[in-house]
Amino acid sequence: MSEKILLSGVRFHGYHGLTRMEREVGGRYSIDLELTYDYSKAIASDRIADTLDYRKVHKIVQEIGREESFQLIEALAGRIVAAIFEQFPVEEIFIRVRKETPVLDGIVESVGVELRRRRQQSST
C-alpha cells in the first residue's frame, strides 16, 4: 500500500532527556509522521468519517510529548507509535523525532531518531 497521511513539523515543549535541566526546564521537539493507511473510501466519499482524522493524531503527539517524560527520545518515539497503533487502523508508521535544543557543546541544530514499524511489529 502506498497511501500515506503525513504530519510534518509537529512541535511542542517537552521534558525529555538525561540531564536534570532537560527534565526540569525542558526543550523544543519536532515530530514528523508518515501513516500508511488505506483512504480509498475517503477518496470516493469525501467524508472525514472514512479516513484517519489527523487532528486526532496531532492531539496524541501533543499529549504524549507535553505530558509524559522520557530519558530517551527513542522511548518517546516508541510511545507515540504504540499509541497510534492502539487507536487507529494504520498499517505502518514512520516517525522522526528531533530534539531542537540538545545539550551539547557547540552549536547543533538538532539531534534525532527515526523509527518505522508495521502493525505486526508494533510492540517496541
Residues with active-site annotation: 99
Size (the chain), residues: 124
Beta strand 27-36 with 92-99: parallel, antiparallel or unpaired?
antiparallel
- Judging by beta carbons within 10 Å of its beta carbon (0-12, 13-18, 19+), is residue 122 exposed, middle or buried? middle
